[in-house]
């Protein structure tokens, strides 16, 4: 199984989207509504394109830490 196959796997996409929704819930509980909204949007994208979701998750984390 190649990396491309792994990232396009349905289970991987679902797991990635669910983990981002969990991250959104954590951010919302900490009062970070903007970060939570970004994670929800990234989860929607990750469900369709897993590799884009991973890139968005890294970008959101870097954005959150820079604030």
Average pLDDT along the chain: 88
pTM of the model: 0.83
CB of 60 within 8 A of CB of 42? yes
Cα separation, 41 vs 25, in Å, equals 13
Count of CB atoms within 10 A of residue 10's CB? 9
**Domain ranges within the chain, ordered by starting residue:** 3-66
Express each pLDDT in 32-46 by its tens digit. Answer: 999 999 999 999 998
> What is the rounded average pLDDT of the residues 13-17?
87
Cα separation, 7 vs 65, in Å, equals 26
Please indicate whether residue 67 or residue 46 has the higher confidence score (pLDDT).
46
Confidence check: pLDDT of 4 > 70: no
């Amino acid at each position: 199984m190649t990396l491309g196959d792994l990232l396009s796997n349905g289970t991987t996409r679902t797991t990635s989207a669910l983990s981002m929704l969990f991250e959104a819930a954590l951010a919302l509980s900490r009062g970070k509504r903007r970060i939570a909204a970004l994670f929800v949007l990234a989860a929607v994208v990750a469900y369709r394109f897993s590799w884009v979701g991973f890139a968005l998750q890294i970008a959101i984390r870097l954005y959150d830490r820079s604030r």
